[in-house]
Structure 1
Amino acid sequence: MTPVSRQGRTGTRSSPVISLRGAALSYGDRTVWRGVDLDVRPGEFLAVLGPNGSGKTSFVRALLGRQPLSAGTLTVLGRPPRAAGPDIGYVPQQAALSAQAMLRARDLVRFGIDGHRFGPRLRTAAVRRRVDEILEAVGASAYADVPLALLSGGERRRVRIGQALATDPRVLLCDEPLLSLDLHHQRAVTELIDARRRSHDTAVVFVTHEINPVLDLVDRVLYLAGGGHRIGTPEEVLTSESLSRLYGTRVDVVRVHGRVVVVGAPDEPIAPAPPHHAHEIDGVRS
């Protein structure tokens, strides 16, 4: 993937598609995050990072209108989140298939087109063509008629992305889309999402426990931890000074062969490979 200039990729004059002011989220007496002031603009790639329990998934749920804020304001495309409807595409965490196990890949994509409608679905040639176009765009045509239960994790991810893109959304929310994927499928998934952002100026909010596969694509980072947060470019946020202030304890950030490695962040799982108990930015699911 070829890096693109972060400064030239998103116009500062364009109206934000996501806007938060003084946003806070609490569960009872526990504040998950607070004081978030953030504008996300068309074509911007925002990575949401943080340790387990920091509220990354809750942030996505708030953008979807499924989790009300405890304080502050949030608009998506100038409207309350739920009113944005099909203008938001959503790639959820990989979950058990359950009732969807025997659905074909094309069925899931079709739900992205007309699943929000009540009553019988329209069986038109135009809808079928649209489904085929989406499957081709995400590289899933070869298994369009295969039940989801028989697809690999990477193949299901492609289909989920196709479903999210079916309504031609202006905002794409991705909750841990790389979870449990090998490096080959991680690269394929990130390239699909980045291609959509480039071709349609779609804003991407990308929750991840692993920043390195998308580091060259990210415009800004929202790092959540301990009820606080940091917002800025990767170069601004992913530093020893920035994360030490956020965690309230000494945290070291180093770069090893182009990869970001964090040493000593509380509540972060430790990866066995790097020396000195170092670990890559990692937060598991929140």
Structure 2
Amino acid sequence: MTSSVTASTPAAISISGGGLSFGERTLWSDLNLDIQQGEYFAVLGPNGSGKSTFLKVILGQLGLSTGTIQVLGGPARAGNPGVGYIPQQRALGTNTPLRARDLVGLGLDGHRWGIRWNRRHHRAKVDELLEAVGASDYAKVPVGLLSGGEQQRLRIAQSLANDPRILLADEALLSLDLHHQYGVSELIHRYHQDHEATVIFVTHEINPIIDHVDRVLYLANGRFTVGTVDEVMRSEVLSELYQTPVSVIKTNGRYVVVGGDENAPAPLDGGDLTHSHCHEENI
């Protein structure tokens, strides 16, 4: 793993006393966290723990219940051009009236009304983005005819349209086969390295990105822990977090997490679990 983080680098995201609640339910509280510029940061946790909600707070789509957040030195706000966002992978319908390059182009001016004046510049930038993610060969293909992995490459290209300093990935590997998981992971890692960007990667499966991650935020049951992968992915740490026995097995540099009660015999590679069983995250 390599990182461009240095002690003198200003924090890309700073949360002080952060708490988030919905009615009587608290997702987390008293979160004090600095994510440095250039850091590769993973967010793990079971369904409903607030991983995707954490990204919504950074995006300015949802406010904290308590505490403050700073993003690139200012308050979190919707539409911040310094923040790119890769949404969860969902298949597009076969009748979607967009070509691959049209979908990528929405990242450049999809938020604007009116006629596109500088078409030459727009075409050139779209071509550049398509090439960057290895999608040039199917630039004119209707998006609904592409595989899930190909569609996800387009979403990455779209998220990079403004050369963001922070790149948020919300379950970017969901529903992809192993080959496309590692391909998409490598694209994000390459942008992280080439642009010294901060990456915040929400995932249920840390193994495809484990070689890139600097630190982990693990959310569960209103609790959290932050540290390096080796500090967090330990039996005693996750058992305390879940308040139930959890076994973490490391083999060949990869993690398997197993619930500890009699109803939880099935292992899950580097993923997360509920109190009673292991399962794959799908939000």
- Provide the TM-score with structure 2 as the length reference: 0.91
| Secondary structure of 2:80 counterpart | helix
Checking the alignment, whether the CA contact within 8 Å between 1:251 and 1:263 is kept in structure 2 is yes
Checking the alignment, whether the CA contact within 8 Å between 1:221 and 1:234 is kept in structure 2 is yes
**Separation in 2, partners of 1:96, 1:192:** 20
- Deviation of the 1:96 alpha carbon: 4.9
Checking the alignment, whether the CA contact within 8 Å between 1:53 and 1:285 is kept in structure 2 is no
Which structure 2 residue ranges, 5 or more long, are not aligned?
Answer: 273-279
- Deviation of the 1:222 alpha carbon: 0.4
| Secondary structure of 2:70 counterpart | strand
Checking the alignment, whether the CA contact within 8 Å between 2:91 and 2:148 is kept in structure 1 is no
**Separation in 2, partners of 1:201, 1:258:** 25
- Deviation of the 1:68 alpha carbon: 1.3
Q: Which amino acid aligns with 1:182?
A: D
Match of 2:242 in 1: 247
Match of 2:282 in 1: 285
Match of 1:107 in 2: 102
Q: How many residues of Structure 1 are paired with residues of Structure 2 in the alignment?
A: 274
1:169 aligns with 2:158: no
Counterpart among 48, 54, 69 of residue 59 in structure 1: 54
Q: Which amino acid aligns with 2:267?
A: A
Counterpart among 223, 231, 234 of residue 228 in structure 1: 223
Which structure 1 residue ranges, 5 or more long, are not aligned?
Answer: 271-275
Match of 2:120 in 1: 125
**Separation in 2, partners of 1:78, 1:237:** 28
User: Counterparts of 1:199-218 in structure 2 under 5 Å?
Assistant: 199-218=194-213
**Separation in 2, partners of 1:222, 1:112:** 28
Identity %: 53
Provide, for residues 55-112 of structure 1, a one-character-per-residue CA deviation record: whole Å limited to 9, x for no partner: 1111111111111111111111011221661111000012353698221111111111
Select between 66-75 and 187-196 the one with higher mean Cα deviation.
Answer: 66-75
Checking the alignment, whether the CA contact within 8 Å between 2:174 and 2:282 is kept in structure 1 is no
Provide, for residues 179-214 of structure 1, a one-character-per-residue CA deviation record: whole Å limited to 9, x for no partner: 011111011101100000000011000000101111
**Separation in 1, partners of 2:228, 2:146:** 36
Checking the alignment, whether the CA contact within 8 Å between 1:253 and 1:261 is kept in structure 2 is yes
Q: Which amino acid aligns with 2:34?
A: D
Runs of 4+ with deviation above 6 angstroms: none
- Deviation of the 1:32 alpha carbon: 1.1
**Separation in 1, partners of 2:282, 2:183:** 21
Match of 1:261 in 2: 256
Structure with greater helix share of residues: 1
Checking the alignment, whether the CA contact within 8 Å between 1:46 and 1:219 is kept in structure 2 is yes
Q: 1:135 to 1:22 in 2, by over 3 A?
A: same
Checking the alignment, whether the CA contact within 8 Å between 1:94 and 1:177 is kept in structure 2 is yes
Checking the alignment, whether the CA contact within 8 Å between 2:94 and 2:144 is kept in structure 1 is no
Q: Which has the higher contact order (CA 8 A, sep 6+)?
A: 1
